[in-house]
């Protein structure tokens, strides 16, 4: 498989980034939610947040890498035969996912660095505080972080449902190409003929 | 932690009479509402409330008539650690969104001589009002170099976190918090 995206397919770099980050992000939500209810004497009371912040910073680095990679790669075309509103909604949703992720990570960073303390990433390196000192920064950033984290989970659920709908209902190659799988969509023939099946690969309708 | 605070004052015995109302000098930050609580039983953790206001009545010849009112912006808690402060402001501790202010209103003052005394009053914190007694000592008073007249006191008190609805378990050594209160008032 090629590293780079083509007009029709995701390359392995984009695929690897997507599937490395997706479970980590969902795990971060669970960890963030769970760690807040720990009692003071729980062994995870300190480790939970350390892990959350460390993974969070690494995810931020991956996200920046992912956006840079996206910028210098073609975008695989939309599935043929999709309604215009679906295509627009999907692109809007993908943009919102990136934005939410970025905002969540930045707000998390602003909680922890509100008093000038750096964030230590598993003892490997430290990310210094930069913006700090506006009034009750940690509370404000915390509220933003929490609200956006819930919003992200809502959007991710829709996103995953949409992917499954493409796969099982539309029977197109949307999910397969994000999984790096070649070949035809699931065996049952599509309900309606679209694109040019003779070529064997979905044509872009752009 | 947390806790809140308050004030004090009162009086002293003797000395010369100046029956008057004093405004607590928060503008010049000559007043401090601090607390300390044991961490794990191994050390003391200190913090303070940065925003509060209040005034007191004090007459050196009639210290028993001293009184004080203080209002504290609870969200101004600062224990020198943003993540901890965030936790302290949350529901586990001060729940500042629901209970943004704490107050202390004195009800009586009992001079014990030597500038010392016991100041009784009602502390309202986290929506709970309970009587507390503050051990007070007059530190000094008189003219300041800028044309004003000041009196200052220091005091301490202690109460259990759970008396004010703070149920979060910090461990057996950390059930109570001490308040360390210092105020300087300018006569108005
Ligand atoms: C994928 C990214 C992230 C997700 C999904 C996420 C999710 C969450 C969630 C759900 C909470 C609990 C919120 C609450 O109940 O108040 C939380 C708390 C927190 N997060 Fe994140 N987070 C992410 C990234 C980060 C990053 C990058 C940092 C900092 C470097 C960070 C720092 C924090 C901190 C300090 C808290 C604790 C807030 C508190 O104790 O009040 N998070 N996060
Ligand atoms: C935290 C979880 C997830 C996040 C943040 C996320 C984010 C994203 C983003 C930003 C894109 C757009 C990629 C681009 O720029 O071209 C994308 C594409 C995609 N995602 Fe996810 N995703 C998540 C979970 C999932 C899950 C669970 C599934 C499947 C059930 C899934 C299936 C897909 C598919 C099929 C595409 C390709 C869409 C297309 O080709 O237009 N994602 N994802």
With a CB cutoff of 8 Å and minimum separation 6, the contacts of B155 are B6, B7, B8, B9, B119, B134, B135, B136, B137, B180, B181, B182
Residue A126 CA: which ligand is closest? Answer: 1
CATH number at residue B181: 2.40.128.110
ipTM over 0.85: no
B1 lies in some domain: no
CA separation for the pair A8, A118 (Å, rounded):
43
Domain residues for B89? 19-187
Ligand 1: nearest atom to the Cα of B90 = 41
B11 lies in some domain: no
Among residues B136, B138, B129, B182, the alpha carbon closest in space to that of B159 is found at B129
* Chain-chain contact of A117 with B75 (C-beta, under 8 angstroms): no
B179 lies in some domain: yes
A136 touches chain B (CB under 8 A): yes
The DSSP element (H or E) to which A141 belongs, if any, is helix A137-164
Global pTM? 0.81
Mean pLDDT of B111-138: 96
Confirm or reject: Cβ of A60 under 6 Å from ligand 2: no
Per-residue model confidence as pLDDT tens digits over A126-180: 999 998 777 789 999 999 999 999 999 999 999 999 999 999 999 999 999 999 9
Q: Whole-angstrom distance between the N-terminal and C-terminal Cα of chain B?
A: 34
Map out the domains of chain A as residue ranges. 12-186
* Chain-chain contact of B86 with A39 (C-beta, under 8 angstroms): no
Among residues A70, A94, A58, A60, the alpha carbon closest in space to that of A11 is found at A70
For B82, the closest of A41, A49, A138 (CB atoms) is: A138
Distance (angstroms) between ligand 2 centre and the Cα of A167 equals 13
More confident residue, A154 or B113: A154
Q: How confident is the model at residue B143 (pLDDT cuts 50, 70, 90)?
A: very high
Among residues B135, B149, B146, B145, the alpha carbon closest in space to that of B184 is found at B149
For B86, the closest of A40, A113, A138 (CB atoms) is: A138
User: Cβ(B117)–Cβ(B10) under 8 Å?
Assistant: yes
Q: What pLDDT was estimated at residue B14?
A: 35
CA separation for the pair B18, B88 (Å, rounded):
40
CA separation for the pair B179, B160 (Å, rounded):
11
Window from A4-13, A118-127, A197-206, B153-162 with minimum mean pLDDT: A197-206
Query: What tokens appear for A50 in the block?
Result: 């350390």
The minimum CA-CA distance between B56 and chain A, rounded to whole Å, is 29
Q: Which residues pair with A20 in a beta bridge?
A: none
Which residues of chain A does B86 touch, with a Cβ-Cβ cutoff of 8 Å? 111, 138-139, 142
Q: How many helices (H) and strands (E) does chain B have?
A: 1, 11
Q: What pLDDT was estimated at residue A183?
A: 60
Question: Phi, psi at residue A125, to the nearest 5°?
Answer: -160, 170
Structural domain count of chain B? 1
Distance (angstroms) between ligand 1 centre and the Cα of A14 equals 25
CA separation for the pair B79, B83 (Å, rounded):
10
* Statement: residue B108 has pLDDT above 50: yes
Residue A78 CA: which ligand is closest? Answer: 2
Homologous superfamily, domain A12-186: Transmembrane di-heme cytochromes, Chain C (1.20.950.20)
Distance (angstroms) between ligand 2 centre and the Cα of A189 equals 25
Residues 68-127 of A with CB under 8 A from B: 111-115, 117
Q: What pLDDT was estimated at residue B19?
A: 63
Per-residue model confidence as pLDDT tens digits over A12-62: 999 999 999 999 999 999 999 999 999 999 999 999 999 999 999 999 999
Residue of B nearest to A115 (CA): B82
The minimum CA-CA distance between B111 and chain A, rounded to whole Å, is 40
B3 lies in some domain: no
């Amino acid at each position: 498989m090629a590293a780079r995206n083509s007009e029709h397919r995701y390359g392995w770099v984009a695929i690897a980034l997507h599937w490395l980050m997706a479970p980590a992000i969902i795990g971060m939500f669970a960890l963030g939610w769970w760690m807040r209810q720990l009692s003071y004497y729980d062994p995870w009371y300190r480790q939970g947040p350390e892990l959350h912040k460390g993974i969070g910073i690494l995810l931020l680095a991956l996200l920046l890498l992912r956006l840079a990679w996206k910028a210098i790669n073609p975008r695989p075309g939309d599935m043929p035969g999709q309604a215009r509103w679906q295509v627009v909604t999907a692109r809007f949703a993908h943009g919102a996912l990136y934005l939410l992720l970025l905002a969540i990570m930045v707000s998390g960073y602003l909680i922890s660095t509100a008093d000038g303390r750096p964030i230590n990433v598993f003892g490997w390196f430290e990310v210094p505080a930069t913006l700090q000192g506006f009034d009750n920064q940690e509370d404000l950033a915390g509220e933003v972080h929490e609200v956006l984290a819930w919003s992200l989970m809502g959007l991710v659920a829709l996103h995953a449902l949409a992917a499954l709908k493409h796969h099982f209902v539309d029977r197109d190659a949307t999910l397969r190409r994000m999984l790096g799988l070649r070949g035809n969509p699931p065996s049952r023939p599509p309900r309606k003929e679209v694109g040019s099946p003779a070529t064997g690969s979905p044509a872009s309708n752009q | 932690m947390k806790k809140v605070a308050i004030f004090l004052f009162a009086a002293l015995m003797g000395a010369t009479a100046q029956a008057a109302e004093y405004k607590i000098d928060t503008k010049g930050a000559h007043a401090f509402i601090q607390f300390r609580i044991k961490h794990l039983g191994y050390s003391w953790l200190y913090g303070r409330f940065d925003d509060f206001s209040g005034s007191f009545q004090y007459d050196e010849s009639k210290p028993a008539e001293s009184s004080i009112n203080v209002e504290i912006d609870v969200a101004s808690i600062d224990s020198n650690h943003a993540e901890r402060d965030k936790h302290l402001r949350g529901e586990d501790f001060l729940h500042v969104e629901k209970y943004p202010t704490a107050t202390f209103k004195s009800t009586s003052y009992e001079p014990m001589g030597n500038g010392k005394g016991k100041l009784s009053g009602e502390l309202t914190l986290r929506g709970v009002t309970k009587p507390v007694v503050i051990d007070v000592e007059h530190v000094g008073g008189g003219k300041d170099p800028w044309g004003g007249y000041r009196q200052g006191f220091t005091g301490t008190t202690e109460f259990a976190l759970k008396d004010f609805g703070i149920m979060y378990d910090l461990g057996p050594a950390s059930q109570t918090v001490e308040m360390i209160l210092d105020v300087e008032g300018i006569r108005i």
